Amino acid sequence: NKVIKHNCMLFISLIVSNGCEIGWLEYKTYCYFFQNKILKGKSWIDASLSCQALGGHLLSIENQDENIFILNILKDRSMQTDNYWIGLNDACSNREFMWSDNTKPQFLNWLPKKPNNAGNGENCVVTNDIGWNDKDCDDNYGFICKYVKENNDSCVSGWLNYKNGCYFFQKTNETFYGSDWESSYLSCRLNGGNLLSVEDREENFFIISVLGNYSSEEHFWI
């Protein structure tokens, strides 16, 4: 999650701006959406179209780290018995599996003795919390979508960057809405934020280091 923190003199404000859409999970530079079969199972092609309609594509897994992230989500959500469509398929070239964007997989996580093309009609791939299996593309399963998240790493001019946050310090002699807590809160809200909450010791050290540039007589609302 992108956290933008306006640290204003007389008050410190917080804005949360998620790099992913609501309902999507963030991991590194990607966003992920999990749709289980109970709510709305789909065929592989319908799942692919649904992901495209949401601005993404069926899941592609690039490496072991990403695979572990996916498997852990399935375990954490008690969905380990469920199958989820991913983008891997051999619909265009029998038994040569490709991702839905026509790239070759650089990482594989097949279950034992898979793929087996049972019934000579399993051309699409699902994952569960252990590994991958080839299935009939017309079967109904849940699905996982993925898209590249927006780059929200930069801060607006005049703000200070720290880890995943942007901080702005308002000086006491600059015009704002007021110096009491309520006015400070309103000012932050009008600027799309909220009063700051300090989440850990490292962030607190950062705030203190910045405040060292101001007079010891100046105070901040949080």
Mean pLDDT lowest for which of 28-42, 84-98, 159-173? 159-173
Comparison of pLDDT for 174 and 81, the residue scoring more: 81
Q: Return d(Cα 152, Cα 9) in angstroms, integer.
A: 24
Q: With contact defined as beta carbons under 8 Å apart, do 14 and 6 qualify?
A: yes
Report the share of the chain in percent with pLDDT over 90. Answer: 36
Comparison of pLDDT for 21 and 1, the residue scoring more: 21
Q: Return d(Cα 73, Cα 128) in angstroms, integer.
A: 10
Q: Return d(Cα 188, Cα 214) in angstroms, integer.
A: 20
Residue 47 has pLDDT above 80, yes or no: yes
Q: What DSSP line would sit under 35-59, residue for residue?
A: E-HHHH-B-HHHHHHHHHHTTSEE-
Q: Per-residue confidence at 199, pLDDT binned at 50, 70, 90?
A: confident
